[in-house]
Amino acid sequence: MNVQTPVKTIYGNWGEKFASQWSGFVEHLQTAHAKSLEEIHLPATHMVDIPTAYVSKEGMQEVLRSLKEALGFSFLTDYTASDEGGEKRFQLILHLMSPQTKARVRIKIRIAESETVPTLIPLWEGANWAEREIFDMFGIRFEGHPDLRRILMDVRWEGHPLRKDYPLRGYQVFLTPEPLDPELFK
Amino acid sequence: MGKDGSSDFFTTRFEDVVNWARKNSLFPLPFGTSCCGIELMSTLASGYDMARFGAEVVRFSPRQSDLLIVAGIVNLKMAPVLRNIYDQMADPKWVISMGACASSGGIFNVYSVTQGIDTVVPVDVYVPGCPPAPEGLLNALLRLEERIANGETHSQRRIRAQKEGRP
Amino acid sequence: MKTENSKGLQTDLPLDVARWGVPATFDVTLKRDSDDVFEDSRVLVNIGPTHPAMHGAFRCMAKLNGETIEKSFCEFGYTHRAKEKLGENRTYHQFVVYTDRLNYCSALINNVTYAMSVERLMGIEVPERAVWIRMMCAELARVIDHLICVGISAVDLGAFSYFLYGYHQRERAYTLIEKLCGARLTTSYTRIGGLMADAPEGWERELKEWVKETREVVNEMDRLLTENRIWLKRTKGVSIFNKEDCLRYSFTGPNARAAGVDIDLRRDQPCMFYDRVDFDVPVAQNGDVFDRYYVRLEEIRQSLNILTQCADRIKKGPIWSEDKRTRIPDKEVVYNTMEGLIHHFKFFMTGFNVPAGEAYTPFEAANGELGFYIMSRGGPMAHRMRIRGPSFWHYQGLDPMVKGGFIADLVAALGSINVIAGELDR
């Protein structure tokens, strides 16, 4: 009994309900974006709840644009990252939803520690603060972001808290309130 | 005392009268940051009225209040702000640390949380609970009033020390 | 015509001032302070972290030209409690306590969502009675969250006694919740695979009485404000955020429904028994502050309907799923059998292992779509616990919403979006 077991009182069997949207998603990626697609994990074969596509960093913007415009997955539910360790240390994770059919999919992008990623603000305005949070918590920089600075932690904080090597109790004490950069307001 | 037994005036110490006036007319500054802030609002609302004890007028400006009720988490980002607000208040001033998060960091022993506001400001009364029930906060208020009447709070000791020329 | 007195100062206003604007002959040179941030007469107002209009500790700085906001800068992080990092360092059972403190105005919804998300990873089915109780808790929490939201937004605009009406009902609801689980605000009521304790005898009957009272109170509140001229002037047409903007900024919940986005996860992606109860989803057109207020008021009424239906249909039964991995043994078993004692010890000291996998479980919380994305590697603690808090995405929309409006409208807009600091900062 694991994530592949459909639970009647928690959404039931999405595999049946969204079969056509999910297979359309898989087909679209395999035909139109075969170069950028690295892997696809499907609920039937892997331990995931919705189809998860691993996309390369270079093709990321194109894939997402076509998913948003051609396939209707135009609602960005969540944009976050995770520290997996290994060669390509971080994974950027996007959850998309289609407002018409309510189907959900997940896109993941594996990147190494010091790589920079193109920003998704041209596609979704809401990605602005999500990218700032990813920068704050993981240290992943975004090219083309208008205002990449820390959002949850103090601007003077050193280190990126959600990385696995940052200790849970790594306190950093400040004696003065956060300084404001007047350049921001011009 | 007059011929029929009534008294027209009574003698006491000036200190006691002043303390009596101060404790019955506290002006709280609700420094509500998180969940305890909602219980603070409950205490100020009509169910558990804090106005019964004189603490009716909540003033959000430190220049106009004398009781700082820190209700909720105080981050390492917020701690200098708290100190700023405390410094802007005029003596005599009192601090109630409401809730587990303000008193000791609570369940959050993590990188971004001050483990107790007594590292930042001197606290007179701590209220345990997560969040403390409004009765707990009222109990703390009454305890604080007792301590003000006895002159035992940090602020009153400071005032006495200043008057006597001690550091 | 210009008249001057002995000091050379203009004493009469020229007659060509048709409107109360700055007349053409009025020559004003502002003396600039050396501390001024801006070259011209713009002012930077800091509505700092401790301010009554901020619901929690977050900061908004507005660049003002007179009273018009040209740009606003929002800053938060003053309540960041590192729940995502704590999720990686606490067992799944221990994390239930932290979920209450997310949206602390409706703690039961967070508990229910978290329990559902871990159960989804494990494939556990909870029995019917537990599901009905969870649904009732979620709708009760939704009602009290909306009561506080509309109350506080009214207080921000000056209508103080409105808040007290809603708050009285909230206190009665606290008594109900206290009967259920012992705590008023931070409940920690659900467990993975069940509930902490069964609802006491007669709880459903008291709930129905509370529902009847609250219906009348909501009608009273409606009569007080909805057609009040002052309220309408302050909220109609203020801070409009239309449908396209909502979708671009990932708005969900009542804020999006006020703009015409007809998505409600209870109806469109039903979980628990929402497909067996009847309710309507209020959707408005304009997306201004008044619509957000009115959608919430209507949602309170719909939630009260759901509560009555649940209270009528619930039957007696078990509240724990008998899955051996997550079933906390009862106290009689723990104290009287060796296996119970060992099981209890292992459960609380090391936690249970959740099979490897990942799942994103969204739920329609009071503010919008609350989602838990849990990546597990088979151990007792999560590898990544991501909390998608709706207030984070809503607060981002504040700047485009108030641009070009007045500073007084910033306060109205902030109250209407219902930003809760616990969800915003996690």
At C62, the pLDDT band (50, 70, 90 cuts) reads confident
Rounded Cα–Cα distance for residues C354 and C339 (Å): 21
Burial state string for C355-383 with b = 16 or more CB within 10 A and e = fewer than 16: bbbbbbbbbbbbbbbbbbbbbbeeebbbb
Is A80 close to C122, i.e. CB distance below 8 A?
no
pLDDT at C7: 55
**How large is the average pLDDT for residues C257-261?**
91
Compute the average pLDDT of residues A124-138.
Answer: 92
C305 at B interface, C-beta within 8 A: no
* Contact residues for B136 (Cβ-Cβ < 8 A; gap 6+): B127, B128, B129
- Annotate C42-100 with DSSP letters as a single string: -EEEEE-SS-TTSSSS-EEEEEEETTEEEEEEEE--TT---HHHHHTTSBTTTTHHHHH
Q: What pLDDT digit, counting tens, does each position of C220-238 carry? A: 999 988 888 999 988 888 8
Q: Which residues of C touch B110 (CB under 8 A)?
A: 81-82, 85-86
Q: Which residue has the tokens 């005029």?
A: B90
C86 vs C48: which has the higher pLDDT: C86
Residue B131, preceding bond cis, omega within 30 degrees? yes
Interval C194-218: pLDDT, tens: 999 999 988 999 999 999 999 999 9
- Give the separation between CA C284 and CA C403, rounded to whole angstroms: 22
Q: What is the pLDDT of residues A14-49, one digit of tens each?
A: 888 888 888 999 999 888 888 888 889 988 888 888
Burial label for A22, CB within 10 Å (0-12, 13-18, 19+), is buried
Q: Tell me the mean pLDDT in the region C152-169.
A: 87
State the pLDDT at residue B67. 92
- Each residue of C322-381: pLDDT tens digit? 888 888 888 999 999 999 999 999 999 998 999 999 999 999 999 999 999 999 998 899
Residues of chain B with pLDDT under 50: none
Instruction: From chain A, pick out residues whose CB is under 8 angstroms from the CB of B109.
Output: 168-169
Interface test with C, best of A5, A7, A10 (most C CBs within 10 A): A10
Inter-chain residue contact C369 with A185, CB threshold 8 Å: no
Amino acid in position C33? D
Using pLDDT thresholds of 50, 70 and 90, give the confidence band for residue A115. Answer: confident
CA distance B96 to B142: 11
Instruction: Name the pLDDT band for C26 (thresholds 50, 70, 90).
Output: very low
| Three-class SS state of B69 | strand
Choice among A9-13, C128-132, C265-269 with the minimum mean pLDDT: A9-13
pLDDT in the model for residue C295? 94
A104/C356 touch (CB, cutoff 8 Å), yes or no: no
Q: What is the pLDDT of residues A40-67, one digit of tens each?
A: 998 888 888 899 999 998 888 999 999 9
Share of chain A above pLDDT 90, in %: 35
The answer on pLDDT for C20 being more than 50 is no
Q: What's the complex ipTM? A: 0.93
Q: Indicate the pLDDT class of residue C307, thresholds 50, 70 and 90.
A: very high
What is the least distance, in Å, from the CA of C82 to any CA of chain B?
7
| Residue of A149, A151, A171 to mutate, testing the B interface (most B Cβ within 10 Å of its Cβ) | A171
Interface residue A78 vs chain B (CB under 8 A): no
CB pair distance less than 8 Å for C186 and B133:
no
Whether B113 and B76 have beta carbons less than 8 Å apart is answered as yes
Residues linked to residue B28 through DSSP beta bridges, in sequence order: B67
Mean pLDDT of chain A: 88
pTM of the model: 0.90
pLDDT at B34: 87
Residue C340: how many CA atoms within 13 Å on its side-chain side?
10
Higher pLDDT, C61 or C332: C332
Q: What is the pLDDT of residue C21?
A: 46
Q: Which residue blocks in A70-185 are alpha helix, DSSP H?
A: 127-138
**Is the minimum CB–CB distance between A124 and chain B shorter than 8 Å?**
no
